A and B are shown apart, each in its own frame.
Chain A
């Protein structure tokens, strides 16, 4: 399978703990995006990378959130001192820079539950 993969698929944690999610994009896709989706809503943009450079961050991404893509391949999203409001599905997507259509291909998501 050469699609976008995310790990873990589910994470349950206690409030105040740190969590880290991983995303492996489609190979050769140099753009990588993180979105957050809460129940009954569409995904909301969090941040995106072109290669290893983080080019934009949403105001939704508080100081407790940090994302990296150190070698321009996989990416990690860390949430420190989790809060119950962080409970959501975290989606990763990738796209090729050369695609004029800009379509993004999504992974299956990581569902976070903060108790």
Chain B
């Protein structure tokens, strides 16, 4: 399967920006995704990016894609306490391959 790697933890102050990084091995995905998981819950699709785009902005979320380096990032502007969760990047076109998730903790 795919190798998808993420840093495991991120601590950020409320109001600051969060940047979550992801690297992957396969470049054939048409779309790449970011999901959010809150404790005890399923996964919520946050955003996605088409593989021929470099950047996508969606309200407080900005996705950057560097296909050459196979690097995907998610920036959350003005991070709020409700953004505390685990964030997963996922690649592949149907049988999604996920990273291990980045736990984001927002401190006051």
Distance in angstroms from B61 CB to nearest chain A CB is 15
Q: In the bound complex, do residue B96 and residue A104 qualify as a contact, i.e. CB atoms below 8 Å apart?
A: yes
B86-99 vs A: 1/0 string, CB under 8 Å? 00101001111111
| Residue B30 interfacial (CB < 8 Å) | yes
Q: What 0/1 readout, one digit per residue, does chain B (78-108) give for beta carbons within 8 Å of chain A?
A: 0000000000101001111111110000000
Chain B interface size range: 20 to 34
Q: Are B4 and A42 in contact (CB under 8 A)?
A: yes
Residue picked from B41, B43, B101, most chain A C-beta under 10 Å: B43
In the complex, the chain A residue whose C-beta lies closest to that of B8 is A40
Q: When chains A and B are docked, how far (Å) is the Cα of A60 from the Cα of B33?
A: 23
A56: Cβ under 8 A from any B Cβ? yes
Query: Interface digits, A68-108 against B, CB 8 Å rule (1 contact, 0 not)?
Result: 00000000000000000000000101000000111111111
Asked if A42 contacts B100 (CB within 8 A), the reply is yes
Output the nearest chain B residue to A107 by Cβ-Cβ distance.
B42
Given contacts A42-B4, A42-B101, A91-B42, contact A31 B48 (CB under 8 A): no
Partner of A43, one of B43, B45, B94: B43
A-B residue pairs, 6 tightest by C-beta: A42-B98, A45-B95, A106-B42, A106-B43, A108-B42, A109-B42
Q: Which residues of B contact A108 (CB under 8 A)?
A: 41-42
Q: Which B residues, 49 to 93, have Cβ-Cβ distances below 8 Å to chain A?
A: 50, 88, 90, 93
In the complex, are the beta carbons of A43 and B96 less than 8 A apart?
A: yes
Known: A103-B48, A106-B42, A109-B42. A42 touches B99 (CB 8 A): yes
A40-B100, A91-B43 given; name 5 further pairs at CB < 8 Å.
A31-B94, A33-B96, A101-B31, A102-B30, A106-B45
A103 touches B33 (CB 8 A): yes
Shortest Cβ gap from A93 to chain B (Å): 8
Flag whether A48 is at the interface (Cβ < 8 A). yes
The verdict on B25 contacting chain A, using a C-beta distance below 8 Å, is: no
Most buried by B among A48, A56, A91, A106: A106
Is there contact, CB below 8 Å, between A33 and B42? no
Q: How far, in Å, is B4 (CB) from chain A's closest CB? A: 7
